[in-house]
Chains A and B, each alone.
Chain A
Amino acid sequence: MFIDSHIHMTSRTTDDYVAMREAGIVAIIEPSFWLGQPRTEVGTFKDYFSSLVGWERFRASQFGIKHYCTIGLNSKEANNEALAEEVMDLLPLFASKEGVVGIGEIGYDDQTAVEDKFYRKQIDLALELNLPIQVHTPHRDKKAGTSRSMDVAIEHGAQPDWVIIDHNNEETVKEVLDRGFWAAFTIYPHSKMGNERMVEVVKQYGSERIIVDSSADWGISDPLAVPKTAALMKERGVADEAIHKVCYQNALEAYGKSGQFNASDWEMTNGVDQKLNFEGNSVLRGGQSPLVEGADSNIIK
């Protein structure tokens, strides 16, 4: 069983969902992000957020995967200050919904003053709503940006164990762990982290507070990064218990602090309770396994 705690499914196909389920992914978290180009209207943010709690959640359920999300204004789009103010007004409407497991992904991109302003405001919102914070660390000037993300979180009174610092690498991990934050690693081709390097990180730093994710999105990326990395870890002698922690349990504990992320959610729908659900009729609600024609052949009937 795996959790991918960072993946942008709105950009992925149903083939990905099928492959993810077959590879053992039972639950995913979709952080709010940008769409590859900046939005220009607040209404498109509203529809995006509502698709994260609506259509995408339904789509995932058809493949036996429980879909959760984090809600937030990403750092790139924070730079449009007027629009960002309007988006801030929307966030409380969505952040208190069921299945919203944190405020995210927020943080710095260019590390501008405006990015800083909205990062701080959203930390305050997370504290007010008692939600974990999912932090995107910048691609450029990464090491300083990561330290600064943690400094600001502390300054606003966030507890380190309520903050997941994502997109770590060999250069950032030590400080993140030393300061008591969760350290997430994104296995993403050509940038961020590779799975062989990830194995070495786990060998060196152990499995405490380390989380592996894919951040698969609209770019060349891999929705199976978590199970593949787990397989590689096993092949290279990492203990099963450690693999379980970094590819499942730690994400569950970190985001579980929201009260909205419980293993019983997916154990219920995939296990013995199906009969119960049927009588309560939820097997017909949210679509269990749909009748996928031709699932066992290449011929479309």
Chain B
Amino acid sequence: MISSNLISFSNIKLAQQYLYNIIVSRTDEKGQQWLDKKIEQLLKDPREMDFYISFNLVPRFIGKQTLDLTDEEIAAGQNLRSGLDLSHWTIDQVGRNLILLYMPFDEKSFCQNTLKNLFETAGVDELVALYAGLPLLPIGEALHQRAAEGIRTNMTAVFDAMALNNPYPKDYFNEVAWNQMVLKAFFMERPVYRIQGMEERYNEKLAAMIADYAHERWAAGRITMPELWCGIGPYVTDGLLADLRRLLDDTDELQQQAAALACYNSGSERAKTLLLNHHDLREGIENRMINWKQIGSQWENRRYQKKPLYE
């Protein structure tokens, strides 16, 4: 389950360089000078209080703007650590994580204590930086309980930092934590297509939880997100066939497409048979016009435009 290419003690310098380069190409001279001075100070004499204060001060000196990463920068992140994706980060997140990468990682208790205090005193944006940055830490694996806390939060931004565009959950969450994360993402109506590893980490228990959840929503007269069926394919049971059949005839094309994808990817012959009457959908899937990313982003767009979710 653990992917190759994790940040380790040997490539931590590359990680530092990666973050540093992203910042200096986007900040002014004053920001860079501050950063250089801090790094020098932390290297020479790493004291806990300096990590706290520097971490706090990052946005004052290097700002908070979005990154708009180049294709090269995105690729470099992937090379550094599989799944690393800073495309939704802001520059202060990069800065805060760069500071953290100068912790003396061979001193275990120092790092544990510093991180504990940072998490326990953090503001919203600081929590976002901390959770999004977990895959960058060479001791990240030891922090899986902390990571699960990031899923228990009700602060949307913090949940997103842990769950979306982040390789950490798929690499380190056990099945219980994984399933809670996915289910909670649906509860919070988050863009699930941005969760890494949805299909590979799918499991039978999750499929049962998702089916129960859907029935609960429908009983209350609520709609379900079309992405609810992402990854369920191999776990489609005969009990779900009636639901999928109904969704294939739904008035909302995104619901139809999602049900069709679930049937198409299903191991169940009966589910595949349902698609016989839906030629267009089948064709859309085969020529890749219909896929989870497209369904998810269209749904997200609808939310943003405040159109009725259910059309």
Chain A interface (Cβ within 8 Å of chain B)?
46, 49-50, 53-55, 57-58, 90, 92-94, 96-99, 259, 278-287, 291, 301
Contact = CB atoms under 8 A, between A and B. Distances in A.
Contacts of A49: 121
Nearest 6 pairs of A and B residues by beta carbon:
A53-B123, A280-B66, A285-B157, A287-B156, A96-B56, A58-B155
Contacts of A90: 121
Contacts of A98: 56, 59-60, 123, 125-126
Contacts, number: 79
Interface in B202-234: 221-222
B54 to A, nearest CB: 9
B53 interface: yes
B122 A285 contact: no
B98 to A, nearest CB: 17
Question: Max chain B CB contacts within 10 Å: which of A55, A57, A285?
Answer: A285
Contacts of A93: 52, 56, 117, 121
B75 interface: no
B126 A286 contact: no
A49 B120 CA distance: 10
A259 B126 CA distance: 18
A50 B120 CA distance: 7
B127 A54 contact: yes
Nearest to A67: B124
A280 B122 contact: no
Contacts of B66: 279-282
A213 B86 CA distance: 41
B278 interface: no
Given A93-B52, A286-B156, A286-B157, 17 more contacts: A46-B121, A50-B121, A50-B122, A54-B122, A57-B123, A58-B155, A97-B126, A98-B56, A98-B59, A98-B123, A279-B66, A280-B68, A281-B66, A282-B66, A283-B304, A285-B157, A285-B161
Interface residues of B, number: 36
Contact of B157 (A46, A287, A291): A287
Nearest to B157: A285
Chain A interface helix/strand/loop/mixed: helix
Given A97-B126, A98-B59, A287-B157, A92 B120 contact: no
B150 interface: no
A55 B155 contact: yes
B124 A53 contact: yes
A97 B56 contact: yes
A253 B117 CA distance: 33
A187 to B, nearest CB: 29
B83 interface: no
A98 B55 CA distance: 10
Contacts of B156: 58, 284-287
Interface string B92-129: 00000000000000000000000001001111111110
Interface string B39-77: 000000000010011001101100001101000000000
A284 B123 contact: no
Nearest to B127: A54
A58 B123 CA distance: 9
A69 B236 CA distance: 50
Contacts of A50: 120-123
17 contacts: A53-B123, A53-B124, A53-B126, A54-B124, A55-B155, A92-B53, A93-B52, A97-B126, A278-B304, A280-B65, A280-B68, A280-B90, A281-B66, A284-B191, A285-B128, A286-B124, A286-B155
